[in-house]
Structure 1
Amino acid sequence: MATLSETYACVPTTERGRGILISGDSKSNNILYCTARSVIIRNLDNPLQVSVYGEHAYPVTVARYSPNGEWIASADVSGTVRIWGTHNDYVLKNEFRVLSGRIDDLQWSQDGMRIVACGDGKGKSLVRAFMWDSGSTVGDFDGHSRRVLSCAFKPTRPFRIVTCGEDFLANFYEGPPFKFSMSIRDHSNFVNCVRFSPDGSKFITVSSDRKGIIYDGKAGSKLGELSAEDGHKGSIYAVSWSPDSKQVLTVSADKSAKVWDILEDGSGTVNKTLACTESSGVEDMLVGCLWLNDHLLTVSLGGTIYLYSAKDLDKSPLSLSGHMKNVTVLTLLSRSEKMLLSSSYDGVIIRWIPGIGYGGKYEETKQFGLIKLLAAGEEEIITAGFDNKVYRVPLLGDNFGPAEHVDVGSQPKDLSLALNSPQFVLIAIESGIVLLNGSKIVSTKQLGFVVTASAISPDGSEAIVGGQDGKLHIYSVSGDTVTEESVLEKHRGAISVIRYSPDVSMFASADLNREAVVWDRASKEVKLNNMLFHTARVNCLAWSPDSSLVATGSLDTCVIIYEIGKPAANRRTVKGAHLGGVYGLTFIDQERVVSSGEDGCVRVWSLVSE
């Protein structure tokens, strides 16, 4: 069997100019955030403990625990709310179509019986409150003319609901059944977030006009404002109360987070400013926050989560980052130090340390643009994207040296590095292959068939090229001369990936017709066949360090591990490894294989039988 030992989670999907929602459960210290069609459940005491709920048909916008922690309500851009259990494989309790457009926020009532949701839609239906078990509407929510960005349910009786949005208004409703009581017109720009204090005595609204205003929880009358002195210099996107209702945490486009003391009269003064970063990039704007027990959490536009301790705000935060998009390449950077490198097609390259998780992000990647292909040597990485350029980038400790690039004249389809002679790189382009020595092209060969994949042997003396026609062409390489030696025919689909075994006695190939084959390099005979257990194309494959295991990853979301010398039927299968498909695979050692995929996550699987 293969068991999941660690997950390096993807980060929340963010949007410029908008706040995002992170919510939590005070009993378990779990947080919820949304990325693409998934809800990520992550434990703050052990951030490698991650689970993913992926049952929505559309991108998810918000998810919240019920007050008793037993249920989660999550909502998406189609206006649908799903209510599911936190145990027993996330069994679905109910699904309701609540609004005709995107849902931006939802909140449970403290008794767990009602849910209010708000967002975008047609006509007046921008807010709706309903019973969690039947979906029947409990109230009438007039008063907004534009998208409603946030809503809050008073946690104590008498119940109240406050909503706010892009029409610069906050509306106050009494109930249940809820009826419009009054509009609050104290802001001069989008009102981005509204939250009641845990004791229900007050609520606060924050806005793009840089103000935070505090109101009486029962009557809705204004009490005071957050002080402009030391205040935010940009839009305030989100706010969260401390568990004792005496402080709030705010985050802003000015890249700072602030902890405020809320006084009895309703005014607020800055207690502490939390600056996350010295850099000046747009992705350092802060767009989300949460105060959960002793944890203060902020989220940047780039998706990085910063975790502070409420007991010691001077202590540097723990930063948790990851990918936001499909992780297409995964490689072991150094076998001795066991460091992993992953890249997603949006150009983000991240280091991971097994057992620890996030090990840092390479910041200089913007110079390469989008990344489609990546190979790593001991001292450099080679990348290629969607233009005709191949970059050679020296690794200098935790960052990159100045990159050299070479134009290969056509978009690269595959690239591989001769590990023992790392100056040699083989680039596959649609019409043939290009051989690089350093950053110079030493040979370009037109091959007369459509090339789809390639590999070069570690010593640089042999190249295998796979075609659209399913054939493997083997070439000897000497200096700048490339000579065809043989053609192997076994595949019934275009070749998608080729990899030499670490001991170079074998190589493995896989195709778009879901089959993989292991070949003996000397005799060119098939060493392991009938590897036909995927139900969709094979995207990636990897060898274990001692060449005894080969793993394949597929669009069908599965990883399959085969043992050389045993029938393919004796395979080990990881089902549902990555929602949307597996795109990257590598072994850390004989006992651990790592996969990455469409869901933006990287997972470590243990092959040791318990």
Structure 2
Amino acid sequence: MKTHIKQTGENDCFSGKGHINLVTKMVVDEADQLVTCSMDDTVRFTSMTKKEYSASNLVKMDIQPKHVSVATGGLALAVCIGQVVLLKDQKKVFTLDSLDYEPEAGAIHPGGSTVAVGGADGKVRLYSVQGNTLKDEGKSVEAKGPVTDMAYSKDGAYLAVTDEKKVVTVFTVADDYSVKNDFYGHHAKVVTLAWSPDNEHFASGGMDMMVYVWTVNDADKRLKIPDAHRLHHVSGLAWLDAHTLVTTSHDASIKQWTLKF
């Protein structure tokens, strides 16, 4: 396993006025927009081509958002403190509030048919997307502890959920969200995960400064990157291709790893 770090620190910067507080989650949607949510109570949609923040591409939330996900058809989901907001084409179209649980993370199925919301109570609730609304049909599955992050595989076959109990659970969507595998290895809370484009692997990062690259069909087959970031925990993961993983951390560094399975 090799790591490539650009020593110069060269990068492309976004121009204009961006978020004014901590950005808690970012994803790229089908329109090649960077979708970000921040403790400044906004969700932004910023063109990756223009690389310029715009006041017209900002959606104000009622409450602080902490997680965002996207799907086809211009759909986005913002999980806020005590509230879940469905957005379409950069507009709020539906809000779930007065919840009897605290939502921590969410994911929209790539096909746009289902929204999964993970709670501090360890439950993952499944809502069906009907037009511009979310319908609660009383369906939920269990993680091993309070949910910290979650994502569907690119092909929509699996939903992976990380939790505070150091476990990653993968559910099989077509099999009524039955548990495919539980993945153990982290020594501290798992905080982030990302699916490989091959849909056969995913990476998880935790408070233990470690990154694991897992194989969906074999929980024992894994790559371990110990001390991926030695000064702080792993805060974000992204795949450039099926063999290239990027990790970020609060140590102010970005690392690129070449994986050999």
CA distance in 1, matches of 2:148, 2:96: 20
**Matched residue of 2:13: which SS?**
strand
1:413 counterpart letter in structure 2: K
1:436 paired with 2:76, answer no
Provide the rounded CA distance (Å) in 2 between the counterparts of 1:439 and 1:571. Answer: 38
Distance in structure 1 (CA, Å) of the matches to 2:115 and 2:57: 24
Q: State which of 448, 453, 458 in structure 1 corresponds to 2:100.
A: 448
Q: Which residue of 2 aligns with 1:475?
A: 127
Q: SS of the residue aligned with 2:112?
A: coil
Match of 2:70 among 417, 421, 425: 417
- Say whether the 8 Å CA contact 1:519–1:526 is kept in structure 2: yes
Higher relative contact order (CA 8 A, sep 6+): 2
Quote how far apart the aligned CAs of 1:499 are. Answer: 0.4
Name the % identity: 28
Partner residue of 1:368?
19
Q: 2:34 aligns with which of 381, 397, 402?
A: 381
| Displaced runs of 4 or more, over 3 A | 395-403
**Equivalent in the alignment of 1:407:** 60
Match of 1:329 in 2: none
Determine which of 128, 150, 164 is the counterpart of 1:498: 150
What aligned pairs does 1:221-370 form with structure 2 within 5 A after superposition?
320-321=8-9, 358-364=10-16, 366-370=17-21
Deviation at 1:402, TM superposition (A): 5.1
Query: 1:576 corresponds to which residue?
Result: 227
Aligned pairs for 1:186-205 (under 5 A) are none
Contact 1:374 1:383 in 2 (8 A): yes
Aligned residue for 1:453, secondary structure, equals strand
Residues 503-528 of structure 1: CA distance to partner in whole angstroms, max 9, x if unpaired? 11111000111110111011111111
Partner of 2:46: 393
- After superposition, what is the alpha-carbon deviation per residue over 1:266-319, rounded to whole angstroms, capped at 9, x for unaligned? xxxxxxxxxxxxxxxxxxxxxxxxxxxxxxxxxxxxxxxxxxxxxxxxxxxxxx
Q: Distance in 2 between matches of 1:578 and 1:406?
A: 33
In structure 2, what is the Cα distance between the partners aligned to 1:395 and 1:587?
A: 17
Structure 2 CA distance, aligned partners of 1:593 and 1:431? 33
Partner of 1:133: none
Count of residue pairs the alignment pairs up = 255
Conservation of the 8 A alpha-carbon contact between 2:192 and 2:236: yes
TM-score, length of structure 1 as denominator length: 0.40
1:385-424 CA-to-partner distances (Å, cap 9, x unmatched) read 1122222223334544554222220000211111x22x21
Q: Note the C-alpha offset of 1:564.
A: 1.6
| Distance (whole Å) between structure 2 residues aligned to residue 394 and residue 469 of structure 1 | 36
**Whole-Å Cα distance in 2 between the matches of residues 476 and 406 of structure 1?**
23
Match of 2:254 in 1: 602
Q: Per the alignment, in what secondary structure is the counterpart of residue 363 of structure 1?
A: coil
Partner SS state of residue 18, structure 2: helix
Alpha-carbon offset, residue 382 of structure 1:
1.8
Q: Counterpart of 1:557 in structure 2: which amino acid? A: M
Given residue 254 of structure 2, which amino acid in structure 1 is its aligned partner?
V
The 3-state SS of whatever aligns with 2:116 is strand
So what's the TM-score if we normalise by structure 2?
Answer: 0.91
CA drift at 1:436 = 1.1
Q: How does 1:66-85 map to 2 (within 5 A)?
A: none
Letter matched to residue 521 of structure 1:
V
Amino acid at match of 1:7: I
Work out whether 1:526 is the aligned partner of 2:179. Answer: yes
Gap regions ≥5 residues in structure 2: none
Q: Helix, strand or coil for the counterpart of 2:227?
A: coil
Partner of 1:565: 217
Distance 1:533 1:591 in 2: 21
Structure possessing the higher radius of gyration over alpha carbons: 1
Q: Which amino acid aligns with 2:48?
A: L
What is the CA–CA distance in structure 1 between the aligned matches of 2:238 and 2:106, rounded to whole Å? 17
